[in-house]
Amino acid sequence: MSDSTPWSFPEHLQPDVDEGSALAQALDGLVLLRAEVPEDAYTAPILGTDRHGSGIVIDGDGLVLTIGYLITEASSIWLTTASGVVVPGHALAYDQATGFGIVQPLGRLPAPAVRLGTVESLEQGDTVVVASHSGRAHALKAQVIALREFAGYWEYVLDEAVFTSPAHPEWSGAALLGLDGRLLGVGSLLVQEQVDGKPTQGNMLVPIDLLPPILEEMRTLGRAGRAARPWLGMYAAENEGQVVVGGVAGGGPAQQVGVRPGDMVLEVAGERVVDLADLFRRVWRLGPAGTEVPLTIAREGALVALKLRSADRNDFLKKPRLH
């Protein structure tokens, strides 16, 4: 949904927000984030060159937390507060493991910081608020429908993600808030879940508990301090109990050794692959980026053994420039 089109949730779907309450202040701490990405950027064909979503002010200096895919390879970033103040920003850090992105405003950002919470006591059925920029009109009362593992085809795994319903149409970088106004997570995806046996659209959000251990390193180093994970550049998904390659990243390790769409991944280093999350974890356990990764795949009824020299995904991306 475009940020240039005025809209709001129906009144009965919006949370009750008392003026001056912690939840009201939290909604004022959300900003519109727009990022422009060069046409020749590695992620441009998949993520586009004009990206917009939300950001969340998390400290007194105006540091903005968002979902990292909005800002990766961005050449310019603009932040707009609920009061209409526009400030340029710098893509300070993107942590591939969690999916979090950090933006440093390049000017005073007049918006309150949202207090961090925790999902430790969150349970299925709890009422929460999923909110994008622009205040209560874009805030949605939702329920937690699941807390479980999530694996994404882009070589991404969360041990426990938060799933909510109904779906927020502006999920990228949206804030998952408790009724006390504390930040519980950051919006990542639109998903389809099964609720009471029926397909239901919802959102997947990254738990905020993953941020504190890496925040200071992201702020000071521009990255989390952990070693980069081995990246294959192989887009895979589960299909009828098999892990199947759907595509490969141009110039990535998988393409270089001839991995093809339709290949079924059977083993990593001689160990059977159970599901998508298991595939990625087995690869990551072999060592840091640059580690050799032996794969056994099934192709047209035959077994094929391949050895990939993994890479650091960040080496394929354009680096942010300080304005």
The CATH H-level superfamily of 11-113 is: Trypsin-like serine proteases (2.40.10.10)
Please tell me the class of the 234-316 domain.
Answer: mainly beta
- Confidence grade of residue 222 (pLDDT, cut at 50, 70, 90): confident
* pTM, to two decimals: 0.95
Instruction: Answer whether the bond into residue 166 is a cis peptide, omega within 30°.
Output: yes
Q: How far apart are CA 103 and CA 78, in angstroms?
A: 10
Confidence of residue 185 (pLDDT cuts 50, 70, 90): very high
Range(s) of the chain covered by CATH 2.40.10.10: 11-113
Amino acid letter, 291:
T
127-212 maps to CATH 2.40.10: yes
Q: What per-residue confidence (pLDDT) applies to 2? A: 39
Mean pLDDT score of the chain, rounded to an integer?
94
Distances (CA, A) of 287 to 112, 161, 314: 41, 25, 17
Phi, psi of 13 (to 5 degrees): -95, -15
Is residue 303 scored above 80 in pLDDT? yes
Strand partners of residue 141: 129
| pLDDT tens, position by position, 63-121 | 999 999 999 999 999 999 999 999 999 999 999 999 999 999 999 999 999 999 999 99
- How is 72-138 classified by DSSP, letter by letter? TT-SEEEEE-TT--EEEEEEEEE-TTT-EEEEEESS----PPPPB--STT--TT-EEEEE-SSGGGG
3-state secondary structure (DSSP) of residue 221: helix
- Answer yes or no: are the C-beta atoms of 243 and 264 closer than 8 Å: yes
